[in-house]
Structure 1
Amino acid sequence: MRELVWRIEAATPPDRDRAVDALRAFAIAGVVLGHWLVTALVVDSGAVRGASPLRYLPLAPVSWLFQTLAVFFLVGGLAAACGYARSGTRGLPYRTWLAARMARLWRPVAAVLVVWTVVAGALLASGVDPQTVRTPLRLVLSPLWFLLVFAVLTAATPLVARLHPGWPLAVVVLVDVVRLGLDGPAWLGWANVAAGWLVPFTLGAAWARGRLRDRTTLWALAIGGATATVALVRWAGYPASMVGVPGEGFSNLDPPSLAAVTFGLAQCGAAGLLLGPLRRLTRRPRPWAAVALANLSAMTIFLWHQTAMIAVTALGLLAGRPLPGLHTVPDGAAWVAARFGWLPLFALALLVCCAAFHAHERAAPAKVKITTTGST
């Protein structure tokens, strides 16, 4: 382990902004822990259904801590803008740059789709209840919407790299006023899928151009975004949870609402303010090694963390009875305490998945190499 730490340290270019990688690792960790803590697979009358403790318990602050997608889009916008600018200076055509970025996204996705197609087919052929098959399949495949949006925004980098974040924010405001305030058609909200995540993406592109470095601006984003979010939840009827809750009629994420976007602005401001402390922390070899390894496996972690949880849950069925925090209804503090006890096993299963499928994330066999900002 010590040798690996020093290999990573030696392979890191001196001009790399390690804090950016720390933000990406933080965003991935938030998604993983958030899903593991607010998603339950309940065994009920021989079938498996999904549930969430957010429906039974006052745990909305958990979603504030672990809904970190805005930070991922912020860093994604920075990486895309920097990468596209570098490709231009090297004389590479747009299609070459885009093909390289899309390959990094879709190779690991193909592996997930193949594995789960085989698993779902085998379960159905063996007579497993279709509802039991649909529940885990939905958990595994639903995060792919994020990658689709991310891919579209990345492909549009030459067009949106200089777009002011205020324009997509104005679209989100208009859409929510019409669909929620004026009882407009619900389908109009799907315009926010692009516009809502375009806000942090364009903030990342502005960061790449040397903007978004003034602490006054960052404090304004953090405080203004947080204040707007609280006001929307308190007086405009938006849900307090920043993730969807099964059974609830309205979600801040599906499609993204104005509250989710203002919450994202607060996160982006806070991310900028944390750059200094993160740079100091990641100058130390061990924290930097952990951050670098998380970045090297970011797609694998994102795509397989739900599979890891499902695998542990399925193996737990061998006990012959529902296990607390694993198969039981998440309706009390006992479930929360038990779920924390299962997290190390989820993490171990995820390590197994990473060992098995990480090769699909890299074009070449694993070799520690840390390149320039935005392309770990």
Structure 2
Amino acid sequence: MRELRTRWSALADRVDSATPAHRDRSVDALRAFAILGVVLGHWLVTALTVTDGSLHGASPLAAMPWLAPVSWVFQTLAVFFLVGGHVADQGHAAARARGVSYGAWVGQRLGRLFRPVAAVLTLWAVVAGGLLVGGAEPETVRTLLKLVWSPLWFLLVFAALTAATPLVARISPLWPLAVVAGVDVWRFGLGGPEWIGWVNVAAGWLVPFTLGAAWSRGAFSRRRQSLFLLAGGAAATAALILWGGYPASMVGVPGAAVSNLNPPTLAAVAFGLAQCGLALLVRGPLARVMERPRTWAKVALLNLSAMTVFLWHQTAMMSVTAVGLLFSTELPGLHTAPGSAGWIVARLLWLPVFAAALTVCWSAFRVHEQPRAARTPRTAVISAAPRVRVPGTARLEEVGRV
């Protein structure tokens, strides 16, 4: 154990010393927070139960609506789009200054996003085929594939906004916000078609993305601007929930008439504004915390494998659930219906197991997130038994490029 701590301290010092002095570490910290929020949120509000021989998805939010505040903590997509807009605008400006073409810039960024996706899709195509051939219920296969593939909508939207950075970066966030409000008025107030809500998939996430671009150009240099976002967004969210008829949960709830997230509603966007205001307010304290080498090393290394963690976290949870079925079909918090406080306690105890399974997935598939030029032996060993290798400090410049 002492040797492990020594190796980790040495690696943390290397990561810290290799980080450029001008790097805003708070940006990476915010991205890490957003990714972990999504992962933990999915692990807490997604359950798999066995009914009539098939696996079915369930959510504790449906049986226990008083848990809605949990979604306020773990639905962190607005922060990710805020950081994405900030980094994309800065990256595009820097690329232009170096004479890099738009095609080369966007190809590099989107390549980092989609290289890991191919591995997920390939593995699950094989798994799904094997399950069906082996006699698994089609409903079980459908449930598993939905959990794996449904988060990919986020990557598609993020990739589209990233590719459109030169066109949308200077748009005022008020314009897409007005579109979201107009769509909701038409959809909920005037009896418009349900499909019109999907316009908000682009418009809704464009709001924090353009806020991030404005941040990269010097906006929010004063605390009162961020405070206005936080207070205004929180007040608008509360009003929309209390008097506008919007659900309190900021994620989808099975069986609910309206989802704030699928597609995004005005309440979700207002909540995102509050999140962005809070994120911008804590930049200073975060930057000071990130000056600690060991803390910064954890954040930097997570950012290097952010897409791997995002893409494989549901697979990790489902793997643990499947292994559990070998022992029992009623393991508390894993296979049982999420309908009581006892289920919540049991699920919390399973989180470290999910994290261990995700570590295995990370070890196996993180290579797909690295450019081919970086898939060389330039690594640093942080443990001896088992020997776990992480990307070397030569790739630190790539932290946060997506």
TM-score by length of 2: 0.92
**How far 1:290 moved relative to its partner?**
1.0
* 1:211-238 CA-partner distances (Å, limit 9, x unpaired): 1222111000000000000000000000
Task: Identify the residue that residue 367 of structure 1 maps to in structure 2.
Answer: 392
Kindly provide the amino acid, as one letter, of the partner of residue 401 in structure 2.
S
Runs (4+) of structure 1 moved beyond 3 Å?
Answer: none
Task: Identify the residue that residue 310 of structure 1 maps to in structure 2.
Answer: 318
Give the distance between the partners of 1:132 and 1:258, measured in 2 at CA: 34
* 1:91-145 CA-partner distances (Å, limit 9, x unpaired): 1110000100110011000000000000000000000000011111100100000
Give the distance between the partners of 1:372 and 1:346, measured in 2 at CA: 27
Give the distance between the partners of 2:292 and 2:44, measured in 1 at CA: 30
- SS of 2:49's equivalent in the other structure is strand
**How far 1:243 moved relative to its partner?**
0.1
Give the distance between the partners of 1:83 and 1:371, measured in 2 at CA: 12
* 1:235-276 CA-partner distances (Å, limit 9, x unpaired): 000000000011112100010000000000000000000001
2:60 to 42, 46, 53: 53
CA contact (8 A) 2:29 2:286 kept: yes
1:170 to 153, 167, 178: 178
Kindly provide the amino acid, as one letter, of the partner of residue 28 in structure 2.
D
Give the distance between the partners of 1:320 and 1:195, measured in 2 at CA: 45
Task: Identify the residue that residue 34 of structure 1 maps to in structure 2.
Answer: 41
CA contact (8 A) 2:303 2:400 kept: no
Kindly provide the amino acid, as one letter, of the partner of residue 70 in structure 1.
A
Give the distance between the partners of 1:119 and 1:260, measured in 2 at CA: 35
Where does 1:290-301 land on structure 2 (aligned, <5 Å)? 290-301=298-309
- SS of 2:326's equivalent in the other structure is helix
**How far 1:198 moved relative to its partner?**
0.1
| 2:19 is the counterpart of 1:12 | yes
**How far 1:373 moved relative to its partner?**
7.5
**How far 1:371 moved relative to its partner?**
1.6
* 1:5-48 CA-partner distances (Å, limit 9, x unpaired): 11111111111100000000000000000000000001112111
Give the distance between the partners of 1:373 and 1:34, measured in 2 at CA: 24
Kindly provide the amino acid, as one letter, of the partner of residue 251 in structure 2.
V
- SS of 1:49's equivalent in the other structure is strand
CA contact (8 A) 1:51 1:246 kept: yes
CA contact (8 A) 2:35 2:80 kept: yes
| 2:203 is the counterpart of 1:195 | yes
| 2:142 is the counterpart of 1:134 | yes
Closer/same/farther in 2, CA of residues 242 and 308 from structure 1, 3 Å limit: same
Higher deviation after alignment, 362-371 or 160-169: 362-371
| 2:172 is the counterpart of 1:160 | no
| 2:239 is the counterpart of 1:250 | no
Give the distance between the partners of 2:217 and 2:329, measured in 1 at CA: 57
Give the distance between the partners of 2:77 and 2:227, measured in 1 at CA: 20
Give the distance between the partners of 2:90 and 2:51, measured in 1 at CA: 50
Aligned-pair identity in percent equals: 64
* 1:283-334 CA-partner distances (Å, limit 9, x unpaired): 0011111111110110000000000000000000011331000000000001
**How far 1:372 moved relative to its partner?**
7.2
Give the distance between the partners of 2:266 and 2:328, measured in 1 at CA: 45
Where does 1:242-281 land on structure 2 (aligned, <5 Å)? 242-281=250-289
CA contact (8 A) 1:13 1:372 kept: no
Mark the runs of 5 or more structure 1 residues left unpaired by the alignment: none
CA contact (8 A) 1:17 1:279 kept: yes
CA contact (8 A) 1:32 1:305 kept: yes
CA contact (8 A) 1:17 1:373 kept: no
Closer/same/farther in 2, CA of residues 264 and 304 from structure 1, 3 Å limit: same
Where does 1:179-194 land on structure 2 (aligned, <5 Å)? 179-194=187-202
CA contact (8 A) 2:234 2:271 kept: yes
Aligned residues: 376
CA contact (8 A) 2:300 2:399 kept: no
The alignment's C-alpha RMSD in Å is: 1.0
TM-score by length of 1: 0.99
Task: Identify the residue that residue 80 of structure 1 maps to in structure 2.
Answer: 88
Give the distance between the partners of 2:46 and 2:331, measured in 1 at CA: 15
- SS of 1:319's equivalent in the other structure is coil
Mark the runs of 5 or more structure 2 residues left unpaired by the alignment: 1-7, 376-390
Task: Identify the residue that residue 347 of structure 2 maps to in structure 1.
Answer: 339
Task: Identify the residue that residue 235 of structure 1 maps to in structure 2.
Answer: 243
